[in-house]
Amino acid sequence: MLSLSFFFPLKLETVLLGDDIPPSSSQSAVATSIPFRNDLLDVIGSITAVSGLSPMISALSVNPSKSTSPIYLLPRFQAHKSATQRNWRVPLEAPSQKWLLHVGNAFEVKDVDGNSEIKIQACACSYQWFNFQKLFGYNWQSGQLDPSIMNRLNAWNKPSDFPVIYPEVSGKKNACIYASTSSGSRQALPHFPFDMVVKINLSTKTASTWSAGARRFIGEPIFVPKGTEEEEDGYILVVEFQYRDDLVILNPKRIGETDAVVARLEVPKHLIFPLGFHASDRQHYQYSFNESPAELLFDSMAKDPVRVLVTGAAGQIGYALVPMIARGAMLGPDQPIILHMLDIEPAAEALNGVRMELVDAAFPLLGDVVATTDVTVACKSVNVAVMVGGFPRKEGMERKDVMSKNVSIYKAQASALEKQAAPDCKVLVVANPANTNALILKEFAPSIPEKNITCLTRLDHNRALGQLSERLKIHVGEVKNVIIWGNHSSTQYPDANHATVTTANGEEKPVRSVVADENWLNTEFITTVQQRGAAIIKARKLSSALSAASAACDHIRDWVLGTPKGTWVSMGVHSDGSYGIQAGIIYSYPVTCDKGQWSIVQGLKVDDFSREKMDATAKELVEEKTLAYSCLN
């Protein structure tokens, strides 16, 4: 008894065999499409087929007028007892005329009566449609799709090919199958080339997809298992073609979700994957990795992507910041990124525009983009959170009213981070009042340690470096160790007392002695840095955005990757009472970072001039803390 059933999506079909197959032949029977191998093509026939003079089918010794398809089962081990019980030269006749293209899996199952069934999961199309002009059941000239591969019973009825499975279950019952398929979204050529990966869950017979997006197409997928015990644990690799080749690495378990892409690597220009991968067994692709520079790609792929949240992403800082992150300015040039962008409902359309531009920029490091107005979705599993979103002060609003708006925003976002963020999350608050927002955030995200919540004063720090380099007419890289003390406001204290300049012969000299102008350092230098934000607004009619975005990248980069030896930076951090500043406020200090942890630089000498300025800005923050807490109720 032989039956062919189409429980299977795409053109994958299952061949069910009954008592035709001797029981106990499980290891010995393999399904194969050997009679259709390329070396059986006759050369002239193939040339005429390729040139379109004759259909390719005529080049093969298959009779297209038959109503059944022969499927040959060959014994793998000749000596096996069961191998003798069957005449292997006699093919099974599948009760339909199908051309088997690629086999994803074949295995034997026993029914309750002990009969064997052999299931073959393969892509197939009808004989008359299989030639080079009608590849994959699609006729390029007429734009018609082979009707025989359209199967309405299936969960997935779009043309597909190159089925692959989790290789550990090859020859056994598999839970899922993956294949290249077409979204059908292109007006011209809707069916081929393929532009999506489909995953079919065989128990639920449901399909989920990952799409390469508009104007891109993909080659064959392969499944690379991680080598763990867990089924479906690994990567789907697929080459995506556009004006360049990208190797896209998908998490098979996340296909159908927004975060399916694990990494995307630009294939070096001198390499090409003409058809992607053409192999479905492990030996085969091991071979290709050993033999080809794909191995190199594997090394650089070793990093898991980092999820970075940017709130207020549709705003002007957000617009400058997200491309910097996607280019590696925040976490390094080899760190894949998944960007989470949050904004509020009125900005949803603009946010989508930013998302579209990120797609258009085709950043090699950018695995995926989540653009949402839902704070829960935005915070899900993020490793870094940059909080830029804030409520703008409107004409005539009381300070307390604005504060209470800001407090409620940070309260809500803190709760979402508390519940959703990854356990190693680091938070940077940019939105003003940055210090106090960070404090509120800390209050409502009690499980995120206070050490992991900081605010941005790096912009002020960089501004101070910039002023000194302009004054001394030297490159900014030759100045270091300025300090911003206190609040990110005009009461901040930019301190050049410990700053140094590296001279041409590599010597480090105190900025004070090199500048040799006490008056400038104690007045104009300080006020210029303090008022720089206002000066930018006056000039640009908009507040600073690119410098703020760049500073946010510097802040996170140094925090995560460490400050260079002998260099400190300024960060708004939780005060532990260092330098006589009241503990429990978020205050900008000089810090060094190592292994993802910041520490306040200790033991710097503080003169009376500095003391007074450091205390004044602290006093402001203490007051603001009181105001903020009064808004909490």
Ligand X SMILES: *[C@@H]1O[C@H](CO)[C@@H](O)[C@H](O)[C@H]1NC(C)=O
Ligand Y SMILES: NC(=O)c1ccc[n+]([C@@H]2O[C@H](COP(=O)([O-])OP(=O)(O)OC[C@H]3O[C@@H](n4cnc5c(N)ncnc54)[C@H](O)[C@@H]3O)[C@@H](O)[C@H]2O)c1
User: Residues in the site for ligand Y, rule: CB under 6 A?
Assistant: 311-312, 314-318, 342-344, 347, 388-392, 409, 430-432, 434, 456, 459, 488, 543-545, 548
**Minimum CB–partner distance for residue 391 and ligand Y (Å):** 5
The two three-digit tokens of residue 510, written as one number:
């105190």
Nearer to ligand X, 154 or 452 (CB): 452
- Residue 430 contact among ligand Y, ligand X, none, beta carbon within 5 to 8 Å by kind: ligand Y
Tell me if 417 contacts ligand X by CB under 6 A: no
Q: Is 102 a catalytic residue?
A: no
Tell me if 550 contacts ligand X by CB under 6 A: no
Contact between 624 and 434 under an 8 Å Cβ cutoff? The reply is: no
State the DSSP string of 479-500: EE--EEEB-SSTT-EEE-TT-E
Instruction: Select from 29, 337, 402, 526 the one that contacts ligand X (CB under 6 A).
Output: 402
Instruction: Select from 116, 487, 530, 570 the one that contacts ligand X (CB under 6 A).
Output: 487
Q: For 109-194, where are the alpha helices, taking DSSP H only?
A: none
What is the CA 94 to chain-centroid distance, rounded?
Answer: 43
The two three-digit tokens of residue 103, written as one number:
């086999």
**Minimum CB–partner distance for residue 447 and ligand Y (Å):** 21
- Residue 393 contact among ligand Y, ligand X, none, beta carbon within 5 to 8 Å by kind: ligand X
**Minimum CB–partner distance for residue 459 and ligand Y (Å):** 4
* Torsion 530-531-535-536 (CA) sign: positive
- Residue 544 contact among ligand X, ligand Y, none, beta carbon within 5 to 8 Å by kind: ligand Y
Nearer to ligand X, 426 or 463 (CB): 426
C-alpha span between 52 and 464 (Å, rounded): 71
If one counts every other C-beta atom within 10 angstroms of the C-beta of residue 547, the result is: 18
Nearer to ligand X, 105 or 116 (CB): 105
Is residue 498 a known part of a binding site? no
Looking at the DSSP bridge assignments, the partners of residue 164 are: 178
C-alpha span between 219 and 195 (Å, rounded): 8
Instruction: Select from 28, 182, 432, 481 the one that contacts ligand X (CB under 6 A).
Output: 432
Tell me if 203 contacts ligand X by CB under 6 A: yes
Tell me if 205 contacts ligand X by CB under 6 A: no
User: Parallel, antiparallel, or unpaired: how do β-strands 366-372 and 337-342 relate?
Assistant: parallel
C-alpha span between 157 and 137 (Å, rounded): 12
What DSSP element (H or E) covers 116?
strand 116-125
Nearer to ligand X, 488 or 555 (CB): 488
Instruction: Select from 108, 232, 495, 558 the one that contacts ligand X (CB under 6 A).
Output: 232
- Residue 23 contact among ligand Y, ligand X, none, beta carbon within 5 to 8 Å by kind: none
**Minimum CB–partner distance for residue 212 and ligand X (Å):** 21
C-alpha span between 165 and 262 (Å, rounded): 18
**Minimum CB–partner distance for residue 150 and ligand X (Å):** 24
If one counts every other C-beta atom within 10 angstroms of the C-beta of residue 20, the result is: 15
How far, in Å, are 10, 12, 138 from residue 193 at the CA level?
A: 15, 18, 10
**Minimum CB–partner distance for residue 394 and ligand Y (Å):** 12
Q: What is the dihedral angle through the alpha carbons of 143, 275, 217, 237, rounded to the nearest 10 degrees?
A: 140
The three-class DSSP label of residue 235 is strand
β-sheet with 479-480: strand ranges across? 479-480, 500-502, 508-510
**Minimum CB–partner distance for residue 341 and ligand Y (Å):** 9
The two three-digit tokens of residue 297, written as one number:
């790609």
Stretch touching ligand X by CB under 6 A, among 94-102, 181-189, 417-425, 513-521: 417-425
Nearer to ligand Y, 284 or 540 (CB): 540
Nearer to ligand Y, 192 or 559 (CB): 559
C-alpha span between 445 and 437 (Å, rounded): 12
Tell me if 396 contacts ligand X by CB under 6 A: no
The three-class DSSP label of residue 332 is coil
Nearer to ligand Y, 100 or 347 (CB): 347
Stretch touching ligand X by CB under 6 A, among 103-111, 156-164, 269-277, 482-490: 482-490
**Minimum CB–partner distance for residue 550 and ligand Y (Å):** 11
The two three-digit tokens of residue 581, written as one number:
């500043």
The two three-digit tokens of residue 312, written as one number:
């207020």
Binding mask 437-476 for ligand X (x = CB under 6 A): -----------xx--x------------------------
- Residue 314 contact among ligand Y, ligand X, none, beta carbon within 5 to 8 Å by kind: ligand Y
Catalytic residue among 102, 340, 461, 488: 488
Tell me if 346 contacts ligand X by CB under 6 A: no
- Residue 154 contact among ligand Y, ligand X, none, beta carbon within 5 to 8 Å by kind: none
Can you count the helices (H) and strands (E) in the chain? Answer: 14, 30
Binning the chain into helix, strand and coil, the percentages to the nearest 5 are 35, 25, 40
- Residue 311 contact among ligand Y, ligand X, none, beta carbon within 5 to 8 Å by kind: ligand Y
Closest by Cα among 268, 275, 265 to 305: 265
Binding mask 162-201 for ligand X (x = CB under 6 A): -------------xx------------------------x
What DSSP element (H or E) covers 509?
strand 508-510
Q: For 506-607, where are the alpha helices, taking DSSP H only?
A: 511-515, 518-522, 524-540, 546-561
Contact between 328 and 305 under an 8 Å Cβ cutoff? The reply is: no
**Minimum CB–partner distance for residue 236 and ligand X (Å):** 13
Residues classed as catalytic:
488
Site of interaction with ligand X (CB under 6 A): 175-176, 201, 203-204, 232, 390-393, 399, 402-403, 406, 423-426, 431-434, 448-449, 452, 487-489, 596-597, 620, 623-624
Q: Which residues are annotated as a binding site?
A: 278
Q: Which residues are annotated as a binding site for Fe cation?
A: 278
